[in-house]
Structure formats: C-alpha cells, structure tokens
Structure 1
Amino acid sequence: MLLLSIDSSTRGCSVALYQDQVLLATNDLFTDRSSSAMLTILLDNLVRSTGHSLHDLDAVAVAKGPGSYTGLRVAVSTAKGLCFALEKPLLAANTLAGMAQQVYGFFSDDTWFCPMIDARRMEVYAAIYNAQGQEMEPTKAIILDETSFAETLDSHRLVFFGDGAAKCKPLLGAHPQAIFLDEEIRPSASTIGKLALAAYEAGDFEDLATFEPYYLKDFMSPKPKKSPLIP
C-alpha cells in the first residue's frame, strides 16, 4: 500500500510517502507562508524521487487541523483534489496528535504530553495525550493564564512543546511537573502518515464530498475600511 501524506497546518508545508509501514521519503519546507504551488511541487518531486508516480498511490492523508486557516485550506484542497482526480480514498489525522507522535518514547510511561499551536495573543490550540497515544484532554482553544492545566499538573508530569509552548513557559515553567522541550516540534507529514496507516487498516476513510478542515474556531478577517470615495 502506497500512502502520500500532506501537512501544511502551520508555516510552510510537509509531505511524506509510506509503502506499507515503511517511510520511503519525507520533505519539509518551512517558510512564513503556505501555498498550493509550493505544496504540489514538493509532493510531485517527492513521489518521483522514489521511482513512483501519483497514479501509484493507494490513498492520500492530510493533517486536518487545528492550525492556520490558510494552511489547512491549502492542504485539504490539495489532498481532496488528488483523491478526486485519482479516485483514491482520503484519510485525515489531527495535527496535534501527529506532533505528539514525535516525542513518545523519550519519557516514562506515566508522562502526559501537551502539543501546542500558536493561535495568536495568549491563545493556543492544545490537547493532552498519554504515552500510549490516547487522548486524555480533547483538542481545544485555550487562553493561557497561571491556572492553565493546574488539575493535570497536580497528578502528572506534563511535557509542553510546539510553537505555542513559548507563551506557556513564563506562566508554568516553575512548576515541578511541567517540562518544556528546547527542541522545536513542528507538525510533520511523516507522523500524520503514521496515524493514517492505522486509519487505513481500520477502513476509517473520509467522505470526499463533505470533508472540511478542523479549523476549531471561525476565521476572523479584518473589517474592510470604507473608501473615502464611497459615501
């Protein structure tokens, strides 16, 4: 089974190709913006570099969010376009769950993990997972303060990471149960693909016609200024 996975939940974009359980190749491009042009070139070059073509794919997976409104829209539109054109199934995985996959195995089994994505000001998108990958607290938007995660920190060591964790560290960094990773953990298509492989085996496919990104909150655009030429 040949699976292409795509992620552009935050800055830049990431693609990966799996054959069965083996990661054949991955490529990440980190920039200040995501674009459909960059993503399509990146994935086409990645597939060709392994000696395959897009027609060889058995399924396409995408990081569904949360994350950047524009980045999610680009990734999901690209994935759905490929699936429609190639008549292949679509798989999706939570962006935060994919981030958490990157740090399992480096801590004791009783440790919990909190991936965070910056949502501007003092707000983050976050979820909590245990060392076995089970969701202990669902994905939600959180406005951070000194009481954030207090109940969880009373009972578990909690590892914070992702670009939203920098906002949390000044508030909770002194807590003996709070651990903040120095290494920046970004969303990655490689771990999204790993989660999607399990979904493929379970037959957990998305409905191409109705699937939408998991924006988590409504997109807010600035109100356009009234032109002085229009009364």
Structure 2
Amino acid sequence: MKTLLIENSTDIGSLAVADDGIILARRQFLKAGDLAGRIQEILAVFGVPHEIVVGTGPGSYTGLRVAAAMALGLETALERVAFGCPSVFGYPQECYHVVGDARLGTVFFASIAKRQLVRGPELLPAEEFRALQPGLGDAPLFANGPVRGFQDLQIVRPEAEHLVRCRAAFTRTLEPLYLKEPHINMRSPQ
C-alpha cells in the first residue's frame, strides 16, 4: 500500500512516499508555497497513493494548517483516505522526548516509548520543563527547533518518513493539535 506522508510542523517541511512501510522517496521544502510543487513531483514519479498521512503537530500554526488543507484537498481530489498523526512521532528512534517552543514562556513536551505516547504532548511553563529535565533518563531529548532559554538542546526536526511506522497513532481527524488558544495582539484604540 502506497502512502504519501506530509510533515510541516516546523520551519523545514518534509514529504515522503512509502510502499508497505518502505520509503521510496523523500523531499524537503522550506516554504508552504513549495509544498504543492513537491507533491506534484512525487505524484508524477510514484503515481496516486492509497492513503495520505499528515503530521498534526504540535508546531507552527500556519505550517500545520497548510499541510492539513493540502491533505484534505488531496483526499477529495484523489478520492483517497487521509489520516492525521501527531508530529512528535516523526523521529526514527523508538524511545525519546520532544520539546518545542510554545512562546510566552511555555514549551510543549512529549515522551515516546516503543513508538507510543507515554506523556503529552502537553503545555508546560519553561521553568517546569527545566526542573523536569534531570529526571528524563537515557532516552534522547530533541528540540523541534530553537527553544528560547534552552540553547543547549539538540535540534532535530520531525520528518514525514517516520510517521509511517506509527499507524496506531493515525486518526481520521486532520485537525492540528493545538495546546493553547492562538495568541493575538490587538491594536490599541487610537
């Protein structure tokens, strides 16, 4: 079964095509506008997939919405089923932790063991995460991008190709995983 995988929760997006779990192709893109072109390239070479999987975050609000909209459009146009999968499954390891900057002094945090979520993704105050770090054990800790106040973290972005191994986490909803309401700055009255 051929699967098209899309991951766009960070500043560097990725696509992959897998056939029965074997990765046939990988592509990266830097801007949401590049996503459609990369998908066209993949479809031209590998044909129409049987299913589409999109990373649902947590991560960039805009990136997640663009990827979800693309997956919905492909689902309709190609008459194929689309699934959502948390982006924290976009790593090759079986056991690890992921942290990301959620702004305003907060981070998101998740722990994965044997490719299963065992904690989170949850929103934490940055200081609570700092206190949590020493007890995380031997599993690697990845930041999905720069995290304010934690410059020593290893930055490893999730990649689409790894989502295919986490079928148990697939859902029929493509709604992005938001851990808090969007922050909007309102103009002050003149």
TM-score (norm 1): 0.71
Q: What is the distance in 1 between the residues matched to 2:93 and 2:38?
A: 25
CA gap of 1:221–1:152, structure 2 versus 1, over 3 A, is closer
Which residue matches 1:16?
16
Q: CA deviation at 1:44?
A: 1.2
Q: CA deviation at 1:61?
A: 0.4
CA gap of 1:52–1:97, structure 2 versus 1, over 3 A, is closer
Q: What is the distance in 1 between the residues matched to 2:118 and 2:138?
A: 13
CA gap of 1:153–1:29, structure 2 versus 1, over 3 A, is same
AA partner of residue 47 (structure 1): L
Any conservation in 2 of the 1:16–1:193 contact (CA below 8 Å)? no
Q: How does 1:40-189 map to 2 (within 5 A)?
A: 40-48=36-44, 51-53=45-47, 56-98=48-90, 101-104=91-94, 113-130=96-113, 132-145=114-127, 147-148=128-129, 150=131, 153-154=134-135, 156-162=137-143, 163-164=145-146, 167-168=149-150, 180-181=153-154, 184-189=155-160
2:11 corresponds to 1:38: no
CA gap of 1:78–1:12, structure 2 versus 1, over 3 A, is same
Greater radius of gyration (CA): 1
CA gap of 1:192–1:224, structure 2 versus 1, over 3 A, is farther
Number of residue pairs the alignment of both structures matches = 189
Q: What is the distance in 2 between the residues matched to 1:94 and 1:155?
A: 21
Q: What is the distance in 2 between the residues matched to 1:194 and 1:158?
A: 19
Q: CA deviation at 1:150?
A: 4.5
User: Which has a greater percent of strand?
Assistant: 2
Give me the CA root mean square deviation. 2.5
Match of 2:162 among 191, 202, 205: 191
CA gap of 1:219–1:23, structure 2 versus 1, over 3 A, is same
Any conservation in 2 of the 1:116–1:126 contact (CA below 8 Å)? yes
Q: What is the distance in 2 between the residues matched to 1:150 and 1:134?
A: 24
Q: What is the distance in 1 between the residues matched to 2:171 and 2:110?
A: 23
Identity of aligned residues (%): 25
Q: What is the distance in 1 between the residues matched to 2:79 and 2:133?
A: 44
Q: What is the distance in 2 between the residues matched to 1:140 and 1:6?
A: 22
TM-score (norm 2): 0.85
Q: Which structure 1 residue ranges, 4+ long, deviate > 4 Å from structure 2? A: 149-152
CA gap of 1:21–1:217, structure 2 versus 1, over 3 A, is same
Any conservation in 2 of the 1:2–1:57 contact (CA below 8 Å)? yes
What SS does the corresponding residue of 2:67 show, helix, strand or coil? helix
Q: What is the distance in 1 between the residues matched to 2:2 and 2:111?
A: 30
Which residue matches 1:26?
26
Q: Deviations over 1:29-81 (max 9, x none)?
A: 23xxx42x311111111232xx323xx21000000111111111000000011
